[in-house]
Chains A and B, each alone.
Chain A
Amino acid sequence: MKKSMLLVLSAILLFSFALAGCGSKSGESSSSGSAPEESGGKKLKVGMVTDMGSVNDKSFNQSAWEGLQKLKEDFGYEVKFLEPKNDAEVIPSLNQFVKNKYDLTWATAETLDAAVKQIASENPDAKLGIIDAGVEVPNVASVLFKENEGAFLVGVIAGLMTKSNKIGFVGGMEIPVIKRFEAGFREGIKAVNPDASFKPLYTGQFVRVDMGKSAASTLYNEGVDIIFHASGLTGNGVFNEAKERVARGERVWVIGVDKDQSLEFGDEITLTSMIKKVDEAVYQISKDLADGNFPDGKITYMGLKEKGVDVAPTSSKNVPQDILDKVEQYREQIIEGKIQVPTT
């Protein structure tokens, strides 16, 4: 009895010595990454904190992480991400970067705004960036996308392509950013096809594929033939439902979001996608910091004009040229300010 107790204790001791022994030297050697020696400008350390999502979400967070990786390739920046597992971990995660003297820390979601505001005020020397929220603190660069403008254009496509004259929308949660998608889409449809009926549906979840599938099923059963989704991972369920119906011979479509989702789900079901260039924004603003033009305390708006939102370039596979020409006309009008797209 006593012997085995001793055994256990000594095992633990040995183990903890092993832990202490490997020391901080190995830590330094492995964390330096693959920074090339040459190339001008400062080599920055840039961190990123997600909104409890994964950098492999095939959408928003992944896009931001791709922007950072491009910085690593192009300029040898040191980049790293943290994925908080719950709300309470958000602030410690941001602090992990700030207290380790990272040059810039990105927060890639609207829901992180309060945390970013707090950390930025507590650490006036640190620089932070946030996507999808406006945080008006002197050392924070905020990026807001005009999703409503991009959604307007895919709304034009949907309004002109629908056969049943019923168009649906599947949203994640009813938060301002998703509302912008819905509002733009609705107005785009109304502009070209005022008779079409529009049915929005919110699942309340960004990570539930099954709920996306049942929402899509509900809409398609009501006669909707085109669904635009802005619901992250939930949207994968919308694609699954469309795929099954197309296989059964129904002609239904999905409009993808954030990235060109036809590359992921195929052209048979993806009519087009509204892309949101998170990677572009992260890349550009991080680079601005190195060049000394960091937009501190400012909100950078990324609309059609700034090429922050757009219609996927592969749209011509399914959308006839005359409709795409119409889209271009509306794009011009929005950029020139002749059309103001509402946000709610």
Chain B
Amino acid sequence: MNKLKALFAGESVKISLLSIVLGLLIGAIVMIAGGYNPLLAYQSMLEKIFGNAYDMGEALRAIVPLIFTGLAVAIAFRAGMFNIGVDGQIVMGSLGALMVGNMISMPPIIHAIVAIIAGTLLGGLWGALVGVLKTKRGINEVISCIMLNWTALYLSHMVIKAFMAEEGTSRSQSIQESASIQINWLSGLLDGARIHWGFALAVVALIAYHFYMNRTKWGYEIRAVGNNNHAAKYAGMNVSQVVIRTFFLSGMLGGMVGTFEVLGVFKYMAIASATSGLGFDGIAVALLGMNGALGILLAAALFGSLMYGAQGMSFGANVPGEVIKMVISIIIFFAAAPGMIRWLLNKTKRSKQANREG
């Protein structure tokens, strides 16, 4: 119990909460400036998130991918690297799951499991490619990530058009029903919200991440490389192997997102003109969650519900999309800038001290 208390009274939690409140307040000022009622808007947003079973289920559906992309970015951060290629790894995950789900026939459950494994592995290999390019050829991971995002996107177009095109539309054929991972009884209970087994796996992934990073030799290696890779090398660790492994794991987490989107949410893959952007949201989640499992869970819950609830602001309070995007960005900006909040807190503390002394 004391441990729990300490966890929630810690300075980092205080800073995160304060930044969210500040973000909401400044967002409100922006809405007032634009002539919209911020209270009504925030209320509509809350209603959109908690208003009924369907919306609560769909808000959960929006949170799950952010947990995975948050973890994917965080694990690379821990090793001192920046994986902005999660978007591409998501595409490869979707593609792998779609190919197995659509082109191969198998009995239910086994089909879904094989599809999940295929998508996850493909995402992982796509991520490992970044690590290989970095260690063997010295290519900065940011550059190769950006390039591989587009490569993955257009590769998926090619494969879909060649093997799984749905005549007359701009998307692939659907997966077979046996590969679906939607939880039908739970979806029915939540008025048709798209709930899938990715939820359970998200919880498993969070616990596994915590355990792996803090309790195993491999997690220790990742952290050691992140703190000082020269020292890690001097201590006898195989740094390039750690880098490739980190990117493989990161890519696997990204690949899972794509897998669940195809098998649990859409059942098909669109020939989209851009990647989903979920990987980029993951950067904000990892930053706000400070790379910890619990932090990432809370940050993903916050961002996911904000993004989902934004539609409610437009519907209930007539706030135009542009203003909503601005308000959400302001909240994220403050949430992801705890340094500024810390500075503000210190300043008020210091001025209080000055008052007492003076």
Residues of A participating in the B interface, judged by any CB pair closer than 8 Å: 1-2, 4-5, 8, 11-12, 15, 18-20, 22-23, 26-27, 30-31, 54, 80, 82-89, 91-93, 95-96, 99-100, 110-111, 113-114, 122, 133, 172-173, 175-176, 204-207
Contacts and interface: CB of A to CB of B under 8 A. Distances in A.
B171 interface: yes
Contact of A22 (B39, B274, B325): B39
B55 A19 contact: no
Contacts of A111: 170-171, 270
B311 A82 contact: yes
Contacts of B325: 85
B270 A19 contact: no
Interface of B: 9, 14, 17-18, 21, 24, 37, 39-40, 42-44, 46, 54-55, 58, 61-62, 154, 157, 168-171, 192, 194, 261, 265-266, 268, 270-274, 276-278, 307-308, 310-312, 314-318, 321-322, 325, 345
Contacts of A113: 169
A113 B268 CA distance: 13
23 contacts: A2-B9, A11-B21, A12-B17, A19-B39, A19-B42, A26-B40, A27-B43, A27-B317, A54-B321, A85-B310, A85-B321, A86-B278, A87-B272, A88-B62, A88-B266, A89-B308, A91-B194, A96-B315, A99-B54, A110-B170, A114-B268, A207-B273, A207-B274
A92 B58 contact: yes
B184 to A, nearest CB: 13
B276 A86 contact: yes
A228 B171 CA distance: 26
Nearest to A9: B17
Nearest to A91: B194
B26 to A, nearest CB: 13
Given A4-B345, A88-B265, A12 B21 contact: yes
Contact of B24 (A2, A15, A54, A95): A15
Contact of B314 (A2, A83, A176): A83
Main secondary structure of the interface of B (DSSP, over half): helix
Nearest to B58: A92
B40 A22 contact: yes
Nearest to B44: A27
The 5 closest A-B pairs by CB, nearest first: A175-B170, A22-B39, A83-B321, A205-B273, A92-B58
B175 to A, nearest CB: 13
Contacts of B321: 54, 83, 85
Given A30-B40, A87-B270, 14 more contacts: A19-B46, A23-B43, A27-B43, A30-B37, A83-B321, A87-B272, A88-B62, A88-B261, A92-B58, A92-B308, A114-B268, A122-B192, A175-B169, A204-B157
Contacts of B307: 85
A2 B40 CA distance: 32
Q: Which of A19, A26, A93, A204 has the most CB of B within 10 A?
A: A19
A88 to B, nearest CB: 6
Contacts of A176: 168-170
A295 to B, nearest CB: 20
Nearest to A206: B273
B311 A96 contact: yes
Contact of B43 (A11, A19, A204, A205): A19
Nearest to B278: A86
A114 B266 CA distance: 9
B289 to A, nearest CB: 19
A82 B315 contact: yes
